[in-house]
A and B are shown apart, each in its own frame.
Chain A
Amino acid sequence: MTFVRRLFATWTGFVFLFFYLPIFILVLFSFNQSRLNIVWTGFTLEWYATLWRDTVLVRTLKNSLIVATATTVVSVVLGTAGGWLLHRFRYRASSFLETLVFMPMIVPEVILGVSLLILFVTIGLQLGYTTIVISHVTFCFPFVMAAVQARLAGLDPSLEEAALDLGATPLQAFTKVLVPYLMPAIVSGALMTFTLSLDELIVTYFTASAGTRTLPLEIFGRVKKGLDPSLNAISTVLIAVTVLAVFLTEMLRRRNP
């Protein structure tokens, strides 16, 4: 077993190297003197300095984080509930519902964006945070649901039964037994959702308004002028902040199990 573990660990090491190589580059170039993100000309901190003054960039980052957080919360609720309900009960509409749920993952973003835009216009919903979050949730929560379903596929039914036998109410059985069991799936689904939402470009283009611009939209707009390193700088800041937040949460979790 350890041989396999070691083999896999080495491989995982390579994969992480692969993952982080572009990140390393992007962080490195945030200190690049040249305005154009192509050749290294020298070390500077000016891009970080300009970040403070670049209110547009900071505002869009804030928007993106807000949207991503809201999206993750709603997606986790919808996805977990959906995954569990479809597993527990035999609805006649199960297959139909499932297919519908996973459809937004396949529909090309342009179409999703345009059709959602038309829908919002038809029902008179103003473009803004609500519409962005709705569109993000729509193609994100399937990931949570898929993860939850995959995990439920091997659930030992006697687990829940035992809890109920021991006098727990169905609600307690759910929260004290099922949810902890589902945690890995929920966490992986939530991570995926947060990531997807932060990075989302095309659908957001169609469902956002001028006041709710997200970071990917802003970056996409600036590509024309050449990705200047202030974008690298803000990405680095974002990574640093989220990694810090994650570490803190992890530390807290270990202290209060």
Chain B
Amino acid sequence: MKRFASLALGLLAGSWLAAASAAAEELNLFAWSEYVPQSVLDGFTKETGIQVNYETYASNEEMLAKLVSGAASYDVIQPSEYTIEAMVKEKMLVPLDHKKLPNLKNIGKEYWGQPHDPKLEYSVPYLQGTVGIVINTEKVKDPVTGYEDVFQPKYKGRIVILDDALEVVTWALATEGLGPDAVTKANLEKVRPVLTKWLPLVKVYDSDSPKTALLNGDVDLGIVWSGEAAILIQEQGKKFAYVLPKEGGHMFIDNLAIPKGSENVDVAHQFINYVMRPDVSRKISEDFPYTNPNVEARKLLTPEERANPASYPPGNPKLSTFRDIGPLAADVDKLFTDAKAKSGS
């Protein structure tokens, strides 16, 4: 018993020492899990000698929770567009110095002028994606072009959708001709019957890995992140098709930003500029088949990657980003919770 204790203490002390020996200059990166390739981080360290500490989160709000509590100082974070909007309102971000970001010119023109940060004063797009309909073409033969086509009684128990209150509510709003900027208490009540009609048809709610249910054969179609669909198409080819809903789909933009409280603002700028280099950005796309906002990096992609309809949807689909809905987030959650609970199980 005593030996065990001293062994444990020894281990603890040893690891403390190991943890204490850190590099001179460091960058604290706080980003989505599995969203920044290790090779990109290693490349940065090799070129600049700066160690990158990669801490991860699985949702924007988790990131906010840790940030707001003031526990640690982060230098670069990776919020989605509506979170950027919220953080700008709360003055939580450091304005970017474009002079330190020469590679900003590689970003596509369509990413300027977006409602959350029109002049890219606080953020730089990292990867973009959509939320769309994925169909198992072997099981679903009828055409599916929008939300209404998905939520038909004949697909009852064969549908997977994201477990995301805001997403589902905006889809419902879209079928009523309203956009993501129309989230109000009145409109929420308006779409309540839509949700009541839709949710009993759903078999699985999954935001982490919706492709699982599709691969399992437990569901035949669903509304999922484009990256998930892209992986399905990469793995199983023509079996799966990806369609953007005609009523209007969600385009999300994940960005890099610098939170107030960073002690390495210059290094943070360096990192952001590094990520926007075409070869680096291309590496990111290789691992994560979302849409790359870096025009120069896109030129470096393989034809297969460019042809993946989930990564680069053809045509001119109707897409919009989410807006920050502030305190209404609670009402959205309540509506979704209620509709889910009443849909029976």
| Residues of chain A at the chain B interface (Cβ within 8 Å) | 35-36, 38-39, 56, 62-63, 66, 69-70, 72-73, 114, 117-118, 120-121, 127-129, 133, 205-206, 209-213, 217, 220-227
Assess whether A73 is in contact with B5, with CB atoms less than 8 Å apart. Answer: yes
Given A36-B215, A73-B8, A129-B15, A206:B66 Cβ within 8 A: yes
Residues A221 and B70 in contact, CB atoms below 8 Å apart: no
In the complex, are the beta carbons of B71 and A56 less than 8 A apart?
no
Q: Are A69 and B34 in contact (CB under 8 A)?
A: no
A-side contacts of B55, CB under 8 Å = 209-210, 213
Known contacts A121-B70, A209-B55, A220-B33; A226/B19 CB under 8 A: no
Interface flag for B235 (CB, 8 Å): yes
**Cα-based distance from A210 to B19 in the complex (angstroms):** 10
Q: Which residues of B contact A118 (CB under 8 A)?
A: 69
B211 adjacent to chain A (CB < 8 Å):
yes
Question: How many whole Å from B249's CB to the nearest CB in chain A?
Answer: 20
Given A118-B69, A220-B58, answer yes or no on A211-B8 (Cβ-Cβ < 8 Å): no
- Asked whether A73 lies within 8 Å of B4 as measured between CB atoms, the reply is yes
Chain A residues with CB under 8 A of B9: 73
User: In the bound complex, what is the Cα–Cα distance between A47 and B11 (angstroms)?
Assistant: 28
Q: When each residue 93-104 of chain B gets 1 if its CB lies under 8 Å from chain A and 0 otherwise, what string results?
A: 000000000000
Q: A223-B208, A224-B34, A226-B212 are in contact. Are A210 and B53 (CB under 8 A)?
A: yes
B62, A70: Cβ atoms closer than 8 Å: no
Q: Of A72, A120, A213, which is within 8 A of B71 by CB?
A: A120
Nearest chain A CB to B315's CB is how many angstroms away?
28
Nearest residue, chain A, Cβ from B12: A70
Given B4, B28, B34, which contacts A225 in the complex, CB threshold below 8 Å?
B34
Task: From the candidates B15, B58, B71, name the one contacting A221 in the complex (CB within 8 A).
Answer: B58
15 A-B pairs, CB-CB below 8 angstroms? A35-B235, A38-B216, A56-B38, A63-B15, A66-B12, A69-B11, A128-B19, A129-B19, A209-B72, A211-B19, A217-B56, A221-B33, A221-B58, A222-B33, A226-B209
Q: CA A36 – CA B232 in complex, angstroms?
A: 10
Q: In the complex, are the beta carbons of B11 and A66 less than 8 A apart? A: yes
Q: In the complex the two chains form, what is the Cα distance from A224 to B33 in whole Å?
A: 8
Q: A126 to chain B: closest CB distance in Å?
A: 8
Question: Which residues of A have CB within 8 Å of B211?
Answer: 36, 226
- Given the known inter-chain contacts A36-B215, A129-B15, A224-B34, please indicate yes or no for A210 contacting B58, CB distance below 8 A: no
CB-CB contacts below 8 Å: B49-105 with A: 53-58, 62, 65-66, 69-72
Smallest distance from the beta carbon of B70 to chain A beta carbons, Å? Answer: 5
Give the CA-CA distance A117 to B66 in the complex, in Å: 8
Q: Which residues between 1 and 39 of chain B lie within 8 Å of chain A, taking CB atoms?
A: 4-5, 8-9, 11-12, 15-16, 19, 22, 28, 32-34, 38
Q: Is residue B178 contacting chain A, with contact meaning CB distance below 8 A? A: no
- Contact B235 A129, beta carbon cutoff 8 Å: no
**What's the minimum C-beta distance from A25 to chain B, rounded to whole angstroms?**
14
CB closest residue in chain B, given A63: B15
Specify which chain A residues have a CB less than 8 angstroms from the CB of B15 in the assembled complex: 62-63, 66, 129
Using A70-B11, A73-B8, A210-B53 as known contacts, say yes or no to A117 and B71 having CB atoms under 8 A apart: yes
Q: Specify which chain B residues have a CB less than 8 angstroms from the CB of A223 in the assembled complex.
A: 208-209
Enumerate chain B residues within 8 angstroms of A213, measured Cβ to Cβ. 55
How does the 8 Å CB contact mask read for B289-327 relative to A, with 1 for contact and 0 for none? 000000000000000000000000000000000000000
| Cα(A28)–Cα(B134), bound, Å | 30
Which of B15, B19, B54, B66 neighbours the largest number of chain A CB atoms within 10 Å of its CB?
B15
B335 close to chain A: CB less than 8 A: no
User: Which residues on the B side are within 8 Å of A220 (C-beta)?
Assistant: 33, 58
- Report the bound CA distance from A41 to B201 in whole Å: 32
Query: Shortest Cβ distance from A197 into chain B, in angstroms?
Result: 12
Alpha-carbon separation in the docked complex, A209 to B55 (Å): 7
CA distance A117 to B67 in the complex (A): 11
**Structural contact, A114 and B65, CB atoms closer than 8 A:** yes
B54 x A210 contact (CB < 8 A): yes
The answer to whether A224 touches B216 (Cβ under 8 A) is: no
A70-B11, A210-B54 in contact; A127/B71 too (CB < 8 A)?
yes
CA distance A18 to B215 in the complex (A): 25
Q: A129-B12, A222-B34 are in contact. List 10 more A-B contacts (CB 8 A).
A: A36-B211, A36-B215, A39-B215, A62-B15, A66-B12, A128-B19, A129-B19, A210-B55, A226-B212, A227-B209
CA A224 to CA B70, docked complex, whole Å: 27
Closest 9 A/B residue pairs (Cβ) = A221-B33, A210-B55, A210-B53, A73-B8, A225-B34, A69-B8, A221-B56, A38-B215, A70-B12
> B194 at interface (Cβ–Cβ under 8 A)?
no
When A66-B11, A210-B54, A221-B34 are in contact, do A36 and B72 touch as well, CB less than 8 Å? no
Q: Does B251 contact A (CB under 8 A)?
A: no
A63 and B58 CA atoms in complex are apart in Å by: 20
